[in-house]
Chain A
Amino acid sequence: MVLSMATPRVSFGDDILMIDVQDLRKSYGELVAVDGVSFTAGRGSVFGLLGPNGAGKSTTISCISGLLQPTGGRVSVLGHDVTRDGRAARQHLGIVPQELALYGELSATDNLSYWGAAYGLRGSALKGRVGAVLEVTGLADRAQEPVKTFSGGMQRRLNFGCGIVHQPQVLLLDEPTVGVDPQSRVRLLDLVREQVADGTCVLYTTHYMEEAQALCDQIGIIDHGKLLALGTLNELRGMMGERDILRLTGRFEPARARAAVGRLEHAEVVTADEGLLMLSVEAATRMLPAIFSALSDAGAEVQETTLTQPSLESLFIKLTGRELRE
């Protein structure tokens, strides 16, 4: 069941659904990588898919981009079904993959020219777009040098540039900031905002909560292939209420700890094992003495305590019992 504050099909701006994913499934034999994911995104918006590594984010993007054939469900881009009308759908897509996708022996100009031409640009339009992208990515002064001589951050920016050179209406960004230095990360996020300001619809996958909070209009929290929650940032925060996440490490007897906490008001166990106890607690700072007392009576030995204010991270923990970066 998906916790959602939004209606299943949301349209933005001029009522055109840029991305429409309904009941998407992708499995590899017994392994279900994406399990009934549904969401929509409109023009000039950023839809964030937030989840840990292996949650199904990249598989979802691969199905939308036509790289993978969905096992079930329906995906359309600007009304074009990616399975039946793949060419038309892909024509509107720009993709920035998680791994670099560049020709190292070619220059930045050659890379941009090739991918621009691959999407139908030619002549002065192509030249103009290549020049513009080189400017916005800050690579104009190194435009003719082989890409393999670039720093990691520069290559990331060019990777982004190759995805936007043909001015796609839908931009798929698959963890574009992984392994990027802070300065380049800021620059990349600015580039995303510029695209959105121009009306591009962005699907952004990340496991960085801060990025999702900073960029996304709508966020879907995904884990084990399932969409666990969907809504705007405020809506998702609302799902947490005023509850904090209290993380206790030490030595516990899980059953006794669960029973002890269960007797307290305004506190519930998210997860419990012999070394870790996570609780969802309303006004946790006031509840701490009572919690420690109850746990002590249950034979627990608490060694470390961490309190997390309501956030996407705490929502993820509440939904999955795991931390986002696990």
Chain B
Amino acid sequence: MRFLLISARKDLRRRFADPVALIIWIGLPVMLGTMMSLLFGDDGRPPTAHVLVVNQDDSLIGNLLVGALGQGGMDAFLSVEDVDLDTGRERIDDGDGTALLIVPEGFGTALLNDEPTTLTLITNPAQRILPAIVVEGLEIFSEAVFYSQRLLGAPIRELVDGPSTGQDSFDTATIAVLAAQINNRLTAAGDLLFPPMLDLDVVTTDRAGEGNPGGPSSGFDFGRLFLPGMIFMSVLFMAQGMGDDLWKEKQAGTLRRAVSSPDSLLWFVGGKLLAGLVLIAMVATMAVLVAVLALGLPPLRAPLAVAWCAYAGTALLCLFLSIAILGSTKRAANLISTMTVFPLMMIGGSFFPLELMPAWMGAVGAWTPNGLAVVQLRELLFGTPEPAAVAVAATAIAATAGVTLLLCVRRLRSFAIS
């Protein structure tokens, strides 16, 4: 046990002797946060999609559609700009804009006459999340337009057709009739529409942190979606960086000396894990403090979140220590380690939130070591962690760490002399 402590102290001294690496590690979450913030805006609000609209249908319906896009609730995530077709094409090809919406000529007429018509949406391939938001939003919007047409199509058609021949405008009686028709149809549909039988209620799924009673009001936004993954991206990079330490010890000759010392190699590796735990806790403290200050999270959530990061990060270090010694050369070890870290980041919720992945991938990602950690970190920071769920995640992470640690220690002697 004492060998563990002195080994940890030795490794910490080695780390502190290289302040540049430490600064990079500590700065990593801050840098990633800054990059994400620059990418999505630095005011903490959800990102806004910029939609270029080519309105080739100068009808009332077409104009109503384009006008409605940038109003009401949709202006929260859509900004709309009218452009002509060539300009729109050119700009979307240059990556300027989230999507290009083309309203075809005759759109309004076709809609009123129950004829098929198509809105064309060209998305920006350079963006991933915002175009998806636009597609989802427009699909809902299209359905709303369709059902409005089914309900109020006849009176609207009459309005669009204009007054009878010889009249400049609708007379009062006609307007009254049309108004009565609209009122009757709405009244007839009233039992179905009011109170609304169908309501769009944004609820967070299990993976996004179901239920948030008493949770911080800053709630589900950019921070909640991305922050836990970003923190574990830093932790993964740290674990990978520290994972090659056994190679450094091998190349320095100190690993052979350690193998010949009286105490168990388990303590020698344990020292590396303990040192790693301290360093990961330092970086996690920095990241969580920034999150607390920037997102207004309750400070009392910080200690548990830091402890969780340190715990899960140390388990990841176990994984990378055992992976590193699989390589026959340091270069091969680095390659294996890199081939591990990036898929883990991709599917474990560090690059993209699990919620934005295809369902099957999100389900797999949620059971990776870092995925388990990210999901619970989100609960610890933003939601209400359920002890049973935390215990399951902690056990799965501990099992991963235990197995990889045993494999590492078993192979270490032959690794040292190879």
* Residues on A facing B (Cβ under 8 Å): 62, 65-68, 87-88, 90-91, 93, 95, 97, 99-106, 110, 114-115, 117-120, 122, 146, 162
18 sample A-B contacts, Cβ–Cβ < 8 Å, listed by A number? A62-B417, A66-B260, A67-B256, A67-B413, A67-B416, A87-B262, A88-B262, A95-B257, A97-B253, A99-B253, A100-B252, A101-B253, A101-B254, A101-B256, A102-B252, A117-B3, A118-B261, A120-B262
Closest 7 CB pairs of A and B: A101-B253, A105-B17, A101-B257, A90-B262, A65-B260, A91-B262, A117-B6
- Which of B6, B254, B263 interacts with A102 by CB under 8 Å? B254
Are A103 and B254 in touch, CB under 8 angstroms?
Answer: yes
Alpha-carbon distance between A114 and B262 when the two chains are bound, in angstroms: 13
Alpha-carbon distance between A218 and B218 when the two chains are bound, in angstroms: 80
Are A146 and B17 in touch, CB under 8 angstroms?
Answer: yes
Q: A102-B254, A105-B18, A119-B262 are in contact. Are A68 and B6 (CB under 8 A)?
A: no
B220-276 contacts to A, CB under 8 A, are: 252-254, 256-263
Are A118 and B254 in touch, CB under 8 angstroms?
Answer: no
Collect the chain B residues with CB atoms within 8 Å of residue A97's CB: 253, 256-257
Known: A100-B253, A118-B262, A119-B261. 12 other contacts (CB 8 A): A62-B417, A67-B260, A67-B416, A88-B262, A91-B262, A102-B253, A104-B252, A106-B14, A106-B17, A115-B261, A118-B3, A118-B263
Alpha-carbon distance between A7 and B253 when the two chains are bound, in angstroms: 37
User: Across the two chains, which residue of chain B brings its CB closest to A95?
Assistant: B260
Alpha-carbon distance between A103 and B12 when the two chains are bound, in angstroms: 12
Q: A101-B254, A102-B253, A105-B14 are in contact. Are A114 and B260 (CB under 8 A)?
A: no
Q: From residue B159, how far is it (CB to closest CB) to chain A in Å?
A: 82
Collect the chain A residues with CB atoms within 8 Å of residue B6's CB: 114, 117-118
- B10 at interface (Cβ–Cβ under 8 A)? yes
User: Across the two chains, which residue of chain A brings its CB closest to B257?
Assistant: A101
Q: From residue B244, how far is it (CB to closest CB) to chain A in Å?
A: 15
User: Across the two chains, which residue of chain A brings its CB closest to B249?
Assistant: A103
Q: From residue B150, how far is it (CB to closest CB) to chain A in Å?
A: 75
Q: From residue A170, how far is it (CB to closest CB) to chain B in Å?
A: 12
Range for the number of chain B residues in contact with chain A: 20 to 34
Alpha-carbon distance between A110 and B6 when the two chains are bound, in angstroms: 11
Are B261 and A162 in touch, CB under 8 angstroms?
Answer: no
Collect the chain A residues with CB atoms within 8 Å of residue B257's CB: 95, 97, 101, 115, 162
Alpha-carbon distance between A119 and B3 when the two chains are bound, in angstroms: 9
Are B252 and A67 in touch, CB under 8 angstroms?
Answer: no
Are B258 and A118 in touch, CB under 8 angstroms?
Answer: yes
- B411 at interface (Cβ–Cβ under 8 A)? no
- B13 at interface (Cβ–Cβ under 8 A)? yes
Q: From residue A68, how far is it (CB to closest CB) to chain B in Å?
A: 6
User: Across the two chains, which residue of chain A brings its CB closest to B14?
Assistant: A105
Collect the chain A residues with CB atoms within 8 Å of residue B17's CB: 105-106, 146
- B2 at interface (Cβ–Cβ under 8 A)? yes
- Which of B7, B261, B417 interacts with A68 by CB under 8 Å? B417
Alpha-carbon distance between A100 and B252 when the two chains are bound, in angstroms: 7
Alpha-carbon distance between A93 and B257 when the two chains are bound, in angstroms: 11
Q: From residue A49, how far is it (CB to closest CB) to chain B in Å?
A: 17
Collect the chain A residues with CB atoms within 8 Å of residue B10's CB: 103, 106, 110, 114
B347-361 contacts to A, CB under 8 A, are: none
B151-184 contacts to A, CB under 8 A, are: none
Collect the chain A residues with CB atoms within 8 Å of residue B258's CB: 118
Collect the chain A residues with CB atoms within 8 Å of residue B254's CB: 101-103
Q: A97-B253, A101-B252, A102-B252 are in contact. Are A67 and B13 (CB under 8 A)?
A: no
Q: A102-B254, A103-B254 are in contact. Are A90 and B261 (CB under 8 A)?
A: yes
- Which of B13, B252, B259 interacts with A110 by CB under 8 Å? B13
User: Across the two chains, which residue of chain A brings its CB closest to B263?
Assistant: A118
User: Across the two chains, which residue of chain B brings its CB closest to A68?
Assistant: B417
Alpha-carbon distance between A170 and B3 when the two chains are bound, in angstroms: 21
Alpha-carbon distance between A91 and B263 when the two chains are bound, in angstroms: 9
User: Across the two chains, which residue of chain A brings its CB closest to B413?
Assistant: A67
Collect the chain B residues with CB atoms within 8 Å of residue A120's CB: 262
Alpha-carbon distance between A313 and B289 when the two chains are bound, in angstroms: 70
Collect the chain A residues with CB atoms within 8 Å of residue B2's CB: 117, 122
Alpha-carbon distance between A104 and B13 when the two chains are bound, in angstroms: 12
Collect the chain A residues with CB atoms within 8 Å of residue B3's CB: 117-118
Collect the chain A residues with CB atoms within 8 Å of residue B14's CB: 103, 105-106
Q: From residue B220, how far is it (CB to closest CB) to chain A in Å?
A: 45
Collect the chain A residues with CB atoms within 8 Å of residue B18's CB: 105
Collect the chain B residues with CB atoms within 8 Å of residue A110's CB: 10, 13
Collect the chain B residues with CB atoms within 8 Å of residue A100's CB: 252-253
User: Across the two chains, which residue of chain A brings its CB closest to B264?
Assistant: A87
Q: From residue B263, how far is it (CB to closest CB) to chain A in Å?
A: 7
Collect the chain B residues with CB atoms within 8 Å of residue A91's CB: 262
| Residue among A65, A97, A103, A110 with max Cβ neighbours from chain B (10 Å) | A103
Q: From residue B136, how far is it (CB to closest CB) to chain A in Å?
A: 53
Collect the chain B residues with CB atoms within 8 Å of residue A68's CB: 417
Collect the chain B residues with CB atoms within 8 Å of residue A118's CB: 3, 6-7, 258, 261-263
Alpha-carbon distance between A91 and B262 when the two chains are bound, in angstroms: 5
User: Across the two chains, which residue of chain B brings its CB closest to A105?
Assistant: B17
Collect the chain B residues with CB atoms within 8 Å of residue A99's CB: 253
Q: From residue B308, how far is it (CB to closest CB) to chain A in Å?
A: 31
Q: A106-B14, A114-B10 are in contact. Are A90 and B260 (CB under 8 A)?
A: yes
B1-28 contacts to A, CB under 8 A, are: 2-3, 6-7, 10, 13-14, 17-18
Alpha-carbon distance between A104 and B260 when the two chains are bound, in angstroms: 20
Collect the chain B residues with CB atoms within 8 Å of residue A106's CB: 10, 13-14, 17
Alpha-carbon distance between A119 and B2 when the two chains are bound, in angstroms: 10
Collect the chain A residues with CB atoms within 8 Å of residue B416's CB: 67
Collect the chain A residues with CB atoms within 8 Å of residue B417's CB: 62, 67-68
Alpha-carbon distance between A162 and B3 when the two chains are bound, in angstroms: 16
Q: From residue A26, how far is it (CB to closest CB) to chain B in Å?
A: 11
Collect the chain B residues with CB atoms within 8 Å of residue A105's CB: 14, 17-18
Alpha-carbon distance between A114 and B258 when the two chains are bound, in angstroms: 10
Alpha-carbon distance between A84 and B259 when the two chains are bound, in angstroms: 16
User: Across the two chains, which residue of chain A brings its CB closest to B5?
Assistant: A117
Alpha-carbon distance between A88 and B416 when the two chains are bound, in angstroms: 21
Alpha-carbon distance between A90 and B413 when the two chains are bound, in angstroms: 15
Collect the chain A residues with CB atoms within 8 Å of residue B263's CB: 87, 118
Q: From residue A108, how far is it (CB to closest CB) to chain B in Å?
A: 13
User: Across the two chains, which residue of chain B brings its CB closest to A162?
Assistant: B257
Alpha-carbon distance between A120 and B2 when the two chains are bound, in angstroms: 9
| Residue among A67, A91, A99, A100 with max Cβ neighbours from chain B (10 Å) | A67
Q: From residue B95, how far is it (CB to closest CB) to chain A in Å?
A: 46
B257-311 contacts to A, CB under 8 A, are: 257-263
